[in-house]
């Protein structure tokens, strides 16, 4: 079987869990949305790009993009209609950009290129900054049995 081509993802998600309010996590079923499905939703729905444009940005074919976004929509609608939590993790992707989070003020920002030694918060100028994409990738790669959205832990833990 031919290995899957990595899908280009510009920025990782700022949060990897979403859940219905007022229901503790142990009582919820979880829907796994892959990072490449997240990127399809970001480009197709949030950025409002045509499928052809979004597919080019992800370095995949238009039919593959359409399958990804349909799968994502199905999972998201299942979570909303049936009161499930959504966990974003796994998939076949390659991060192109960086997403940073300030530990002092909590702000997030995206940067296509940053010198990791000189990153400062754009809001409070703090150097207490995490590279979200780096954390996400290193935690997922260190998990044994982590594959395609199954069995991986939350990068924030």
CATH number of 141's domain: 2.20.28
Residues 46 and 66 in one domain: yes
Closest CA to 109 of 126, 91, 92: 126
Is residue 106 a contact partner of residue 123, using CB atoms and an 8 Å limit?
Answer: no
Residue 139 in domain: yes
Of 4-8, 18-22, 84-88, 136-140, the least confident: 136-140
The mean-pLDDT minimum among 44-48, 61-65, 100-104 falls in: 100-104
Give the residue-averaged pLDDT of 40-51. 97
104 in the same domain as 48: no
Residue 65 has pLDDT above 90, yes or no: yes
pLDDT of residue 146: 38
Asked if residue 67 and residue 24 are part of one domain, the reply reads yes
Q: Poorest-confidence range of 8-12, 62-66, 86-90?
A: 8-12
Confirm whether 1 is domain-assigned: yes
Q: Encode pLDDT of 114-127 as tens digits.
A: 565 678 888 998 98
Q: Is the dihedral of CA 20, 22, 23, 24 positive or negative?
A: positive
Q: Does residue 66 sit in the same domain as residue 15?
A: yes
Count CB neighbours of 58 within 10 A: 25
Domain match, 90 and 101 both = no
Number of structural domains found in the chain: 2
Q: Is 154 contained in some domain?
A: no
Domain housing 111 = 97-145
């Amino acid at each position: 079987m031919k290995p899957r081509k990595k899908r280009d993802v510009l920025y990782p998600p700022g949060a990897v869990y979403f859940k219905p309010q007022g229901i503790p996590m142990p009582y919820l079923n979880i829907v796994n949305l892959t990072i490449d499905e997240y990127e399809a939703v970001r480009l197709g729905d949030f950025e409002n790009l045509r499928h052809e444009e979004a597919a080019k940005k992800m370095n995949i074919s238009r039919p593959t993009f359409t399958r990804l976004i349909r799968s994502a929509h199905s999972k998201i609608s299942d979570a909303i209609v049936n009161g499930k939590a959504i966990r974003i993790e796994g998939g076949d992707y390659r991060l192109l950009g960086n997403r940073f989070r300030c530990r002092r003020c909590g702000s997030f920002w995206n940067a296509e290129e940053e010198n990791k030694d000189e990153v400062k918060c754009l809001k409070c100028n703090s150097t207490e900054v995490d590279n979200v994409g780096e954390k996400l990738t290193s935690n997922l790669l260190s998990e044994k049995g982590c594959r395609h959205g199954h069995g991986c832990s939350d990068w924030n833990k």
